[in-house]
Chains A and B, each alone.
Chain A
């Protein structure tokens, strides 16, 4: 390998452009004999050992990693539950991968960052359009951190007296775990309210919400894929109690389902990555939108329209006095690096779909789920959907046979589904796997 050209070199970084002559000239300019002399590290803490990481050429490594990933089984995934996959058009990959987007950073010099700032302003605008809420930030990490930040926002709003955060008993365990950590340093406490056949048990919720309630979190669609039928009532209950109503949803569902603002939602959180990002092992984009009155309590970055000296419309990061780099320990959140590039992709995907495309996609999510549930229900020993509700993308399935065994059989036939408990599975269908539903039904028939 020692004879390899500079781009294949494995005895130093291939990404430092220095020739040996340049390195020598630079060392001379700074008056050092060697690079090592520039390191002001006392000998007691200097590292003289080997890390034991063998360098590889680019070609070797691509082959090696390609083999590594080939060890993942090629399954058709009917998985959802907070990580949903829709077809992402090629143009999103192509445009978002432009290096001018990909290798830029936070827009601290807005005069030479108008492109990304405008793209983020458009993302915020699209979120505002879909939620009806005027203030959307540039992203949280994922749905879980969005919910956790919503709870912390509720804790900071002065007109809210309570400290209880009410979440559904059917909440994804991961979301609950992140929420618990985020509220640990506050006086907030998390409690659950019961569900009734996959939707909010509205009577029970009504009895639970009181002056001690800071925030009520409701999902639509829910983690079981049911479409929530009581949003207006939740809005009324939270309004009367003076607590905040936080709605968890996603960007693909928002085109079809009730507009959050019209049902009284004060904060909207969720996964925005249902558009723009293919399956990426749980990598997400946290949606966060709220009312104007909570503007100064919003976590994360905001892009605002302004003018430059020539009177031209421009964009800039704004209200940075909420942020950690200015406000330090009094910041609304510690978030700095966020998911801006995924937000860019989501905006691109949404713009590509347009209003017709988004509504069609939503309708397809309802039709495919209804149809697949119906087909499975016709099999002996399978009951679907478990909840007598309308469904979006996914639904629970009851099996007479033990559910883990059924799922294992399906897996050996090339299909992945969720196991909820001993006799419950969950199946998620979108435009990506809809063509394989007949095969899934056939595999189910074999498995039971």
Chain B
């Protein structure tokens, strides 16, 4: 296959697709023990030698930003350092077992799961935890499904709405809708926090739950959390905690103590396991005692020194084919155990210190405060996305841009605890240089990266999603 390579010129930085270095077609039916009608006729795939593959993927890795490459201050994504030793622990050959092994033969794995459940319950101030959800959004879905089962168990059948603050992560809205709820959007108050009057107006006997992040998406602690919990509980609703920002609170405040009934943990954010270019993550869910019987099955427990799986009587069922993303859970366990009480608290302390220090160095308006581990700077009358592209020219990864929407031209910045003062000073210099550049320089950015500004509109208008599609066009 040659695709449309010629159309794109001869660039020495160009990395050919696997399909462009050679493919072969195999006549499948002729060598198969199966009758012809049960096999495909032929199969065409790339044919690369192992040395070629090694270079291909090494080059691709070099064309990619990562935490190991430099600061990665994506607000709400928590891109912190990934310890090497957790990778080694997860690679232990004894940990690689099939999910349908009998309980008696995988006591070590079950012990780790039970141990992680216990750690997470303590950290969140929750009574019971499931590790099954394979990502944060899957955790949200699990939590909201548990809330639904809880209301149904009380014959409280008219609760059709979930309240979500306008500033919340998009997953909250999508999750509530996916579970069949109408979404009631709660506008942010003037101080960037939940407006109690607006909340009072939004709750009703139809309210199944309020989904809240605390600190919220601009790093502000919802100081009225006790009143918020009271309003929601008085209306018969449950309070759901989105754990995306838990990195700001480790050992200093716990969702359970704030009145939250159900929460998810993004263990791949809070406890530093790698994000893998978009996953896998893991989204364990913690609940108060009253909700424990609805948790997904099976659960792990210890009885007489032995670990076993069992099904809670009123379980919502399953949210993953097996027990979730095991390797991610192992890494989370190892990380929590490595840090312990003092390390977890220190991680939050340094994450909050870093955010405050970085903000102090920026020549940008930051409309709300005081904030914890992340803050929303505004690019003012400049286009935040353009400023971000210009930051690429200064050799750093820009923050999350244009979100949350209630901050104009938002640049949501989360340095995490893993950067030192010098690194933050460099990052601040990139921020400040970019906003000081001319409109022309911003519009022409990035000019120093491997790829120049990418045309996203055409990509969406004329979707070419595989190398076959490259051959089909023009």
- Most B CB contacts (10 A, CB to CB) among A51, A97, A418 go to A51
B253 close to A (CB within 8 Å) = yes
**Alpha-carbon separation in the docked complex, A26 to B356 (Å):** 9
* Contact stretch, chosen from B97-105, B284-292, B432-440: B97-105
A30 close to B (CB within 8 Å) = yes
**Alpha-carbon separation in the docked complex, A103 to B275 (Å):** 6
Residues of B within 8 A of A305 (CB): 459, 464-465, 469-470
From B19, B278, B326, contact of A125 by CB (8 A)? B19
Residues of B within 8 A of A278 (CB): 96
From A112, A258, A307, A334, contact of B455 by CB (8 A)? A307
**Alpha-carbon separation in the docked complex, A222 to B95 (Å):** 28
A265 close to B (CB within 8 Å) = no
Q: Report whether A16 and B418 are in contact in the complex, using a CB–CB cutoff of 8 Å.
A: yes
- Most B CB contacts (10 A, CB to CB) among A144, A175, A281, A283 go to A281
The total number of A-B Cβ pairs within 8 Å is 653
List residues of B (67-97) whose CB comes within 8 Å of A's CBs: 67-69, 72, 74, 77, 79-83, 85, 87-89, 92, 94-97
Residues of B within 8 A of A52 (CB): 122, 341
Contact with A along B190-229 (1 / 0, CB 8 A): 0000000000000000000000000000001101011000
A241 close to B (CB within 8 Å) = no
B123 close to A (CB within 8 Å) = yes
A305 to chain B, nearest CB (A): 4
A136 close to B (CB within 8 Å) = yes
- Most A CB contacts (10 A, CB to CB) among B135, B174, B223 go to B174
B382 close to A (CB within 8 Å) = no
Q: Report whether A71 and B421 are in contact in the complex, using a CB–CB cutoff of 8 Å.
A: no
Residues of A within 8 A of B2 (CB): none
Q: Report whether B46 and A98 are in contact in the complex, using a CB–CB cutoff of 8 Å.
A: no
A186 close to B (CB within 8 Å) = yes
Residues of B within 8 A of A302 (CB): 463, 465
**Alpha-carbon separation in the docked complex, A302 to B148 (Å):** 31
A71 to chain B, nearest CB (A): 4
**Alpha-carbon separation in the docked complex, A114 to B123 (Å):** 37
Residues of B within 8 A of A97 (CB): 87
Determine the residue in chain A with the shortest Cβ distance to B220.
A40
Q: Report whether B318 and A99 are in contact in the complex, using a CB–CB cutoff of 8 Å.
A: no
Known contacts A72-B108, A328-B173; A53 and B418 CB within 8 A of each other: no
Known contacts A45-B253, A256-B28, A309-B453; A72 and B95 CB within 8 A of each other: yes
B349 to chain A, nearest CB (A): 4
Determine the residue in chain B with the shortest Cβ distance to A114.
B63
B188 close to A (CB within 8 Å) = no
Residues of B within 8 A of A257 (CB): 38-40
Q: Report whether B5 and A65 are in contact in the complex, using a CB–CB cutoff of 8 Å.
A: no
Q: Report whether A72 and B174 are in contact in the complex, using a CB–CB cutoff of 8 Å.
A: no
B75 to chain A, nearest CB (A): 11
Q: Report whether A100 and B66 are in contact in the complex, using a CB–CB cutoff of 8 Å.
A: yes
Known contacts A95-B53, A334-B140, A334-B178; A143 and B451 CB within 8 A of each other: no
Q: Report whether B325 and A283 are in contact in the complex, using a CB–CB cutoff of 8 Å.
A: yes
Q: Report whether B106 and A73 are in contact in the complex, using a CB–CB cutoff of 8 Å.
A: yes
Known contacts A124-B466, A306-B459; A62 and B253 CB within 8 A of each other: no
Residues of A within 8 A of B122 (CB): 51-53
B175 close to A (CB within 8 Å) = yes
List residues of A (125-157) whose CB comes within 8 Å of B's CBs: 125-126, 128-130, 134-136, 138-139, 141-145
Residues of B within 8 A of A321 (CB): 460
Q: Report whether A282 and B460 are in contact in the complex, using a CB–CB cutoff of 8 Å.
A: no
Residues of A within 8 A of B397 (CB): 109, 112
A381 close to B (CB within 8 Å) = no
From B32, B35, B343, contact of A12 by CB (8 A)? B343
Q: Report whether B344 and A344 are in contact in the complex, using a CB–CB cutoff of 8 Å.
A: no
Contact with A along B273-287 (1 / 0, CB 8 A): 011111111010000
**Alpha-carbon separation in the docked complex, A229 to B47 (Å):** 31
**Alpha-carbon separation in the docked complex, A120 to B279 (Å):** 12
B59 to chain A, nearest CB (A): 7
Residues of B within 8 A of A118 (CB): 15, 17, 60, 63
Contact with B along A86-115 (1 / 0, CB 8 A): 000101001111111111111111111111
A204 close to B (CB within 8 Å) = no
B231 close to A (CB within 8 Å) = no
Residues of B within 8 A of A134 (CB): 465-466, 468-469
Residues of A within 8 A of B362 (CB): none
From B60, B65, B180, contact of A184 by CB (8 A)? B180
Q: Report whether A101 and B276 are in contact in the complex, using a CB–CB cutoff of 8 Å.
A: yes
Known contacts A40-B223, A121-B466, A178-B319; A112 and B28 CB within 8 A of each other: no
Q: Report whether B318 and A177 are in contact in the complex, using a CB–CB cutoff of 8 Å.
A: yes
Q: Report whether B278 and A227 are in contact in the complex, using a CB–CB cutoff of 8 Å.
A: no
Q: Please list 19 pairs of residues, one from A and one from B, whose beta carbons are closer than 8 Å in the complex, sorted by A's number.
A: A15-B347, A17-B420, A39-B221, A41-B249, A100-B65, A105-B79, A106-B275, A112-B64, A136-B466, A138-B278, A172-B321, A184-B145, A306-B455, A312-B8, A316-B456, A324-B137, A335-B137, A340-B279, A416-B98
Q: Which 10 A-B pairs have the closest CB atoms?
A: A282-B322, A55-B340, A185-B180, A341-B276, A282-B99, A340-B278, A115-B64, A71-B108, A115-B63, A334-B174
